[in-house]
Every structure is written in structure tokens, then in C-alpha cells.
Amino acid sequence: MTDLSLGGDAPDCADGNGVWLACVECGAALAPFDDVVYRCPDCDGLLEARYADYPTFDEFDGSGVWRYADALPFEEGVTIQEGDTPLYEVPDVAAAADVADVRVKHEGMNPTGSFKDRGMTVGVRVAAELGVGRLACASTGNTSAALAAYGARADTPVLVLLPAGKVAAGKVAQAALHGARICEVDGNFDDCLDVVAELADRGEAYLLNSLNPFRLEGQKTIAFEILEQSRAATGEWPDRIVLPVGNAGNTAALYKAFRELVAAGEMSESEMPTLTGVQAEGAAPMVEAVEAGRDHVERWDHVETRATAIRIGNPVNAPKALPGIYGTGGTAVAVSDDQITEAQRMLAGDGVGVEPASAASVAGLLELRERGVVAADEQVVCLTTGHLLKDPDAAAEAGGDTTAVPADADGVLDALAD
Ligand code: F0G
């Protein structure tokens, strides 16, 4: 039975700041920084960071991810000024969605262009605490770009495993320039994760995929920002947060933020925004699980979508994320690649440039409005997870064509008249 309850006294193994790791399956408690550990040594369950105290909004101070230091395992980390991303109004999307309010939390505005930076600023700080010599991840691209940058900043070597031929150009370029060792694997993302997890188990590298519980601590700050920004903008918290799902790390992280706010007495369970996950039709094991009401996901061996960031068949954080969807009264929905492209164009029409996986959130909102699952009186926030420039090929394909013209004004005007 998954146990995500917070609170209670800190166990003896907690560190001086009242931080420990708990297994979400068997409840075992572990010292946070004595050994390198990713899963429960007893039952192989996922681990979660726990704290003796959970802060209220009053205790947050400063800006960016480290504004929320009281909810994180350290006071500061390896930072490139991540977080503090905009919550945009999006008139075209609002008109199409026809709900009380819709805004876009654009995580593409982070230093390396995706939300992964929030996880890395914390995760790479933990790696320094543990004194590891090499950082590693499997990636559909954005994790590798972020880890490469934060590893470079921390002067720690980085190894990334990418599914060969399936990572968008901008992301590979980032990992290359920031100096990561890039291995292209003959397999999909899930195969890459299997391999890098084995390398980590053998002590060859410190794993910074979202299986690492400290990464999700950083990503939790997305929820804190959405709640603070929404309240500042509309006076209320959103009813619903719609987000793309790959490994389901963000779904798990957002739910953890809500649970902590409940533990701190800031939020009632009924005030938790409903977590609504969106996957591409060709890679939708979470949607399949939610539609069947299951508490586990069955791995898809063959996955395909234009939204390569979420081309994932085995969402490792499902045991934490499914309770988040069920516990907030949320749902999950699959959208086609065409719907994703349409939503990407619609966001672009609002001046917001996102990569395909990000547009899945808006596509999912529109699909659920159409089905009557999302009601007209709802205030909704869609999470857009990565920047347009991450995947320039997809952007160029979704966008308009270029016109060849001679180098004179009349020639340009002639071409425009055609
Ligand atoms: N959106 C983007 C742009 C992503 O890069 C990812 C995951 C997701 C959504 C899904 O988030 O895993 O928390 O459900 N990208 C990972 C990577 C897998 O390797 O960059 P999730």
C-alpha cells in the first residue's frame, strides 16, 4: 500500500535539519545523506524526502527556487537563477477553452529552457553533499541539457544516455556545449533509464533522473509559485493544473507540494488543484492506468510521438503520481500529435513559444473541455514545460513556410503580392 502521509515525529536517522528519506511503499526511514540510495533497500519502493516541519507561505523569502529553501533539504544550492517563471495570460487559448480563467506557467523560461533546472539546482547540491565523482542521467533531452549545465557549474563530470535519433536538436546541442559525455543508446528512453540505473547501482555515477527523490524536491517549487502567482493575479488558487506527463515526476512533485501545504495548515485537502495529466496517444501508459482505475502502470514497449520529450513507456514515478491524480479528483487524457501541433500554434499565436510536449497540456485542456470533463467555471493553469527553441525542427514544421526573394524591395513586394 502506498503511504504518502506526512507529519509525525522525525525518526532518529533524520539529519540535523530534520530531513530524512521515507519509502512510500513500506514506510522505512533512511538517513538522507549517509549513503547513496535511490530506492528502498528493503522493498525497492520509491523514496520521498520528509521533513520535521513543513513551512507556511510566510516563511518563503527571496526569489527563484531557493525562495522555498524552508521546504528544501538545504538553504542554498548550485544555482543559475532557476525558477521565478512567468504565469502568462493567453487570450487565444482562453477563447478556445472558454473557462473562467486560463493561464500558462511557462517553465521554458528557466535558464536551460525547461523545468528540469529546478530539480537540478537541488539534486546537484545533494551530489556535492554525497561527494560523488560523476553525475548521470537517461534523457529524452531536457534532463540531459539541465544536468550538463548544472554539472558544469559544479565542476563535476556528466554522463548522459540518450535514445539515438529521438532527441530534439536544441537539447543535444546544450548537453554538448556544456561539456557532457553523450552516449546515444540503441533503444528508447526507458532502455536508457534501465542502463543508467544499473550504472548508478554499480557505483559508477550518481543518478539524477526523477527517480532521485531530491530532484522532485526542487520541482515541487513549481506548485508553490503557481499558487502564489495565481493568488496575486486572480485572488484565488487554480481549480485545476494541467500538465504533460512523461516519467510523472512533476505530477508527483506537485502533489507533494500540496500535501506539505496541508501538513503546514495552509491548504485543506479539498483546495488541492485537480492534477490533470496529458500524454501523447502513442505513449500513454498513465492514461491507460487512470482509465482503468489501476494503482500501477503497465509498461509500453513501443512508444512514438512528435512530442519526443514525453516519448516514454514506463513512467517510473507512477506510484507517487497516480495517488496525486486520484487524491485531487484529477484525471489523465491522451491527445494526438495533430492536437499537440494545433495547441503549439495556438500558444505561438499568444506569443508563447513552447516545444511540442509542453503544448500537450493545452491540447489536453481543450480535449477535456470538449468532453465536458472540465467545467466552464473552472480556473485552470496549464504547465508548459520546455521552450520552443528546444526543438527547432518541430517548430519550423508547425510554422509557416519561408519565401525566397531577390535582394531588392520590389522583388520582396512582388513576392508578398503573390
Ligand atoms: N515536458 C518536457 C518538455 C519534458 O522534457 C518532460 C520530461 C516532461 C514534460 C515530462 O515530465 O517526466 O515529470 O512527467 N523529460 C525528461 C527528460 C524525461 O529526459 O528530459 P515528467
Contact of 285 with 334, CB cutoff 8 Å: no
- 255 CA to centre of own chain: 12
Reduced DSSP (H G I as helix, E B as strand, rest coil) percent helix, strand, coil of the chain, to 5: 45, 15, 40
CATH of the domain at 247: 3.40.50.1100
**Residue 173 amino acid letter:** A
Residues in the chain, overall count: 418
Pocket of ligand 1 from Cβ distances under 6 Å? 114, 116, 139-143, 210, 244-250, 309-310, 355, 357-358, 385-386
Give 386 Cα–ligand 1 centroid separation in angstroms: 9
Testing ligand 1's pocket by substitution, the residue of 385, 387, 391 carrying the most ligand atoms inside 8 A of its CB is 385
Predicted pLDDT of residue 117: 98
Residues 281 and 295 in one domain: yes
Q: What is the pLDDT of residues 120-135, one digit of tens each?
A: 999 999 999 999 999 9
Q: What are phi and psi of 236, to 5 degrees?
A: -140, 160
Predicted pLDDT of residue 224: 98
Region of residue 315 (phi > 0: left; psi between -120 and 50: alpha; otherwise: beta): beta
Residues 182 and 158 in one domain: yes
Cα separation of 165 and 145, whole Å?
16
Q: What is the pLDDT of residues 165-205, one digit of tens each?
A: 999 999 999 999 999 999 999 999 999 999 999 999 999 99
**Looking at the whole model, is its pTM more than 0.95?**
yes
Of 295, 75, 314, the residue nearest 211 (C-alpha)? 314
Domain assignment of residue 415, yes or no = no
Q: What is the pLDDT of residues 361-415, one digit of tens each?
A: 999 999 999 999 999 999 999 999 999 999 999 999 999 999 999 999 999 999 9
Q: What is the DSSP letter of 270?
A: G
Query: Measured between alpha carbons, how far apart are the two ends of the chain, in Å?
Result: 66
Take atom 19 of ligand 1 and give the residue whose Cα is closest: 139
Cα separation of 142 and 392, whole Å?
14
Give 211 Cα–ligand 1 centroid separation in angstroms: 12
Give 16 Cα–ligand 1 centroid separation in angstroms: 33
**Confidence band (pLDDT; 50, 70, 90) for 418?**
confident
Is the pLDDT confidence value at 276 over 90?
yes
Cα separation of 415 and 256, whole Å?
55
Is the pLDDT confidence value at 328 over 70?
yes
Contact of 47 with 23, CB cutoff 8 Å: yes
Residues 283 and 378 in one domain: yes
Of 321, 316, 36, 39, the residue nearest 189 (C-alpha)? 316
Domain assignment of residue 407, yes or no = no
Give CA separation, 182 vs 6, 149, 175, 210, 246, in Å.
Answer: 39, 13, 7, 19, 21
Domain assignment of residue 64, yes or no = no
Cα separation of 385 and 379, whole Å?
19
- 232 CA to centre of own chain: 23
Q: What is the pLDDT of residues 218-242, one digit of tens each?
A: 999 999 999 999 999 999 999 999 9
Q: Which atom of ligand 1 is nearest to the CA of 321?
A: 14
Domain that holds residue 154: 116-210
Q: What are phi and psi of 271, to 5 degrees?
A: -85, -10
Predicted pLDDT of residue 7: 76
Predicted pLDDT of residue 3: 84
Residues 386 and 302 in one domain: yes
Q: What is the pLDDT of residues 143-167, one digit of tens each?
A: 999 999 999 999 999 999 999 999 9
Give 9 Cα–ligand 1 centroid separation in angstroms: 34
Testing ligand 1's pocket by substitution, the residue of 114, 171, 305 carrying the most ligand atoms inside 8 A of its CB is 114
Residues 276 and 373 in one domain: yes
For residue 325 the three cell numbers come to 491524480
Residues 193 and 298 in one domain: no
Of 235, 284, 290, the residue nearest 100 (C-alpha)? 235
Is the pLDDT confidence value at 1 over 80?
no
For residue 26 the three cell numbers come to 513500506
Predicted pLDDT of residue 353: 98
Which stretches of 58-210 are DSSP H helices?
Answer: 91-97, 116-130, 142-153, 169-177, 189-201
For residue 178 the three cell numbers come to 556544456
Domain assignment of residue 75, yes or no = no
* Run of H or E residues at 213: helix 213-219
Domain assignment of residue 170, yes or no = yes
Query: What mean pLDDT is predicted for residues 321-325?
Result: 98
Predicted pLDDT of residue 233: 97
Is the pLDDT confidence value at 349 over 80?
yes
Q: What are phi and psi of 285, to 5 degrees?
A: -65, -30
Cα separation of 418 and 404, whole Å?
12
Residues 269 and 386 in one domain: yes
Residues 304 and 206 in one domain: no
Domain assignment of residue 363, yes or no = yes
Contact of 98 with 90, CB cutoff 8 Å: no
Residues 33 and 165 in one domain: no
Cα separation of 39 and 49, whole Å?
12
Domain assignment of residue 318, yes or no = yes
Tally of structural domains, the chain: 3
135, β-bridge pairs? 158, 206
Give 309 Cα–ligand 1 centroid separation in angstroms: 5
- The label of the residue with cell 512508444 reads 303
Cβ contacts of 11 within 8 Å, gap of 6 or more? 20, 29
Testing ligand 1's pocket by substitution, the residue of 135, 171, 279, 310 carrying the most ligand atoms inside 8 A of its CB is 310
Predicted pLDDT of residue 282: 98
